[in-house]
Chains A and B, each alone.
Chain A
Amino acid sequence: MAAYAIRRFLGLIPVLFGVSLLVFTFVHLIPGDPARVMLGQRATPEALKRLREELNLDKPLFLNLAAYRQTGDPTKLFDSQYPAYLGRILRGDLGRSIFSKVSIAEELRARFPATFELTVGAMIVALLVGIPAGILAAIRKNSLFDLLVMTGALVGVSMPIFWLGLLLIYIFAVNLHWLPPSGRLGVGVSFHPITGLVVLDSLLERRFDVLADALRHLVLPSLALGSIPAAVIARMMRSAMLEVLSQDYVRTARAKGLPERVVIWKHALKNAMLPVITIVGLWFGTLLTGAILTETIFNWPGIGKWLYEAIQSRDYPIVQGGTLFIAGIYVVVNALVDLSYGLLDPRIQYR
Chain B
Amino acid sequence: MVKAAQTPTQQALRRFLRSSSGRAGLVIVGLFVLLALLAPLLAPYNPAKDRDLRARLKPPTVEHPMGTDELGRDILIRVWHGARISLRVGVVAVSLALAAGTLLGLVAGFFGGWVDTLISWLIDIMLAFPSILLAIAIVAVIGPGIGNAMLAVGAVQVPVFARLARSMVLSLKEQEFVAAARALGASNPRILLRHVLPNGLSPLIVQATLSIATAILDAAGLGFLGLGAQPPAPEWGVMIARGFQYFSTAPWISLFPGLAIMLAVLGFNLLGDGLRDALDPRAARS
- Interface set of A (CB-CB < 8 Å, partner B): 14-16, 18-19, 22, 26, 29-30, 154-155, 157-163, 166-167, 170, 174, 238-239, 242-243, 286, 289-290, 292-293, 296, 307-308, 311-312, 319, 323, 326-327, 330-331
Contact = CB atoms under 8 A, between A and B. Distances in A.
A166 B137 contact: no
Main SS class of interface, B:
helix
A26 B141 contact: yes
Interface string B245-271: 001100100110110011101100110
Nearest to A228: B217
B135 to A, nearest CB: 10
B32 interface: no
Contacts of A308: 136, 225
Given A158-B265, A163-B261, A166-B244, A330 B129 contact: yes
Contact of B247 (A22, A29, A166, A286): A166
Given A163-B240, A239-B286, A290 B133 contact: yes
Contacts of A161: 221
Contact of B133 (A14, A174, A238, A289): A289
Interface in B208-255: 213, 217, 220-221, 224-227, 237, 240, 244, 247-248, 251, 254-255
Given A19-B125, A158-B213, A160-B221, A330 B130 contact: yes
26 contacts: A19-B125, A19-B129, A22-B125, A154-B21, A154-B270, A157-B269, A158-B263, A159-B258, A159-B261, A160-B221, A160-B237, A160-B240, A160-B261, A160-B265, A161-B221, A162-B221, A163-B257, A166-B247, A170-B247, A170-B251, A239-B286, A290-B132, A290-B133, A311-B140, A319-B137, A326-B129
Contacts, number: 114
A327 to B, nearest CB: 5
B130 A289 contact: yes
A323 B135 CA distance: 12
Nearest to A242: B286
A160 B133 CA distance: 16
A349 B254 CA distance: 51
B133 A166 contact: no
B121 interface: yes
Nearest to A141: B286
Nearest to B131: A290
Interface in B129-162: 129-133, 136-137, 140-141
